[in-house]
């Protein structure tokens, strides 16, 4: 029996493992290496590690964790998380593990629209987070892809990195006429045709519309990637998904189920690397405190 099982070995899970391992808790980190950011070559904004590859960041974190004999790793997919009395059980392949507390740090996975070429170019020339990838395309030709009432705020944001923007709605626009006026007032071209394909030609990203028009740009920013949970918790644990697809949690990632915590993107949709690491630290401290109190 472990003190704590952590499902997910991304920045949130590994950071929780570090603080708990150092607090002399026996920790098992279960991970299946399918992180959403593995599509990018380099990730940005993590202090002291700007432009590091996502895999290298994990490699360095694991190297540090290996110093702590209190932390163990299991490669595989955690399934059937259950509560049994006051403990938790989980299956990985044909193994079963138990722990007093569980931290779910399993992140999200994208559900990109099914458009030719998009999957291959996502993370290379098509992105969603300008804080992560905007700098590399500053003052270049950008295409923003999106629709609906959240679009205007996204366009405003992307313009911080480049004013040379074309907007593709992928179908009839669904935002207000006020938003439309604001966009056209800033001379942002808006095209409402469906998008039929993405390709890379020479040094350009090309986006083909259903009427045959081809938009040539340096990169595109996609408002919605329709990310969903990697790990769907069994109903018996009674942790609800919110409308936006993240799990309901309160302070420090605590859920309605005592001893079960959810942190990182699984709880907040997009914490960023440093935010995820911070959540892991905070949850780790809280889980240790809960155990300390129970053992007193
Ligand atoms: C394309 C892209 C680029 C990004 N670039 C940046 C950037 O430059 N800077 C930045 O700060 N943020 C960036 N982000 C955001 C960042 O990747 C996430 O916010 C961060 O990784 C969240 O950390 P996490 O630990 O919550 O989840 P993740 O890093 O997603 O880790 C979750 C882990 O859990 C594992 N897992 C899931 N289910 C199971 C299961 N059942 N059993 C075992 N393991 C499981 C997954 O395989 C994964 O390894 C980017 C995101 C994307 C999609």
Q: 276: Cβ below 6 Å to ligand 1?
A: yes
Looking at 222, 255, 286, the residue that finishes a domain is 222
Looking at 206, 222, 238, the residue that finishes a domain is 222
Q: 11: Cβ below 6 Å to ligand 1?
A: yes
Q: 288: Cβ below 6 Å to ligand 1?
A: no
In this structure, what token pair is assigned to residue 259? 């001893």
Same domain assignment for residues 97 and 23: yes
pLDDT in tens, 15-27: 999 999 999 999 9
The CATH number given to whatever domain includes residue 258 is 3.50.50.60
d(Cα 5, Cα 71) in Å, to the nearest integer?
10
Candidate of 107, 219, 261, 262 to mutate for ligand 1, largest count of ligand atoms within 8 Å of Cβ: 107
Pairing of strands 214-217, 204-209: antiparallel
Domain count, the chain: 2
pLDDT in tens, 147-163: 999 999 999 999 999 99
pLDDT in tens, 29-50: 999 999 999 999 999 999 999 9
Looking at 222, 245, 270, the residue that finishes a domain is 222
Q: 45: Cβ below 6 Å to ligand 1?
A: yes
Position 236 scores a pLDDT of 84
Which pLDDT band holds residue 216 (cuts at 50, 70, 90)?
very high
256 in the Ramachandran plot: left (φ > 0), alpha (ψ -120 to 50) or beta?
A: alpha
CA 60 to ligand 1 centroid distance, Å: 16
Q: 126: Cβ below 6 Å to ligand 1?
A: no
Collapse the DSSP code of 116 into the 3-class scheme (helix H, G, I; strand E, B; otherwise coil) and give the result. strand
Q: 191: Cβ below 6 Å to ligand 1?
A: no
Same domain assignment for residues 199 and 289: no
Q: Is the ipTM of this complex over 0.90?
A: yes
Same domain assignment for residues 103 and 246: yes
d(Cα 280, Cα 264) in Å, to the nearest integer?
7
Same domain assignment for residues 236 and 105: yes
Residue 34 sits in which domain range? 2-110+227-295
Which pLDDT band holds residue 233 (cuts at 50, 70, 90)?
confident
d(Cα 38, Cα 283) in Å, to the nearest integer?
24
């Amino acid at each position: 029996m472990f003190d704590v099982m952590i499902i997910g070995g991304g920045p949130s899970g590994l950071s929780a493992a570090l603080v708990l391992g150092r607090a002399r808790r026996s920790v098992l980190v279960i991970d299946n290496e399918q992180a959403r950011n593995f599509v990018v070559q380099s990730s940005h904004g993590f202090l002291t590690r700007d432009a590091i590859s996502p895999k290298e960041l994990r490699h360095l974190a694991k190297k540090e964790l290996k110093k702590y004999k209190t932390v163990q790793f299991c490669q595989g997919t955690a399934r059937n998380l259950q509560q049994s009395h006051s403990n938790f059980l989980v299956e990985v392949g044909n193994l079963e593990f138990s722990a007093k507390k569980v931290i779910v740090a399993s992140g999200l996975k994208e559900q990109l629209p099914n458009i030719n070429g998009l999957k291959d170019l996502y993370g290379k020339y098509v992105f969603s987070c300008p804080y992560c990838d905007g700098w590399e395309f500053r003052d270049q030709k950008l295409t923003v892809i999106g629709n609906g009432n959240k679009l205007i705020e996204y366009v405003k944001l992307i313009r911080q990195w480049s004013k040379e923007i074309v907007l593709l709605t992928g179908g009839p626009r669904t935002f207000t006429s006020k938003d439309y006026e604001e966009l056209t007032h800033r001379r942002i071209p808006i095209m409402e045709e469906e998008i039929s394909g993405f390709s890379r030609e020479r040094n350009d990203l090309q986006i083909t519309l259903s009427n045959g028009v081809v938009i040539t740009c340096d990169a595109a920013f996609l408002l919605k990637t329709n990310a969903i949970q990697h790990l769907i918790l069994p109903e018996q644990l009674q942790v609800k998904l919110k409308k936006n697809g993240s799990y309901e949690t309160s302070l420090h990632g605590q859920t309605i189920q005592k001893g079960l915590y959810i942190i990182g993107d699984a709880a907040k949709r997009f914490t960023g690397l440093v935010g995820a690491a911070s959540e892991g630290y905070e949850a780790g401290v809280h889980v240790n405190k809960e155990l300390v109190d129970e053992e007193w």
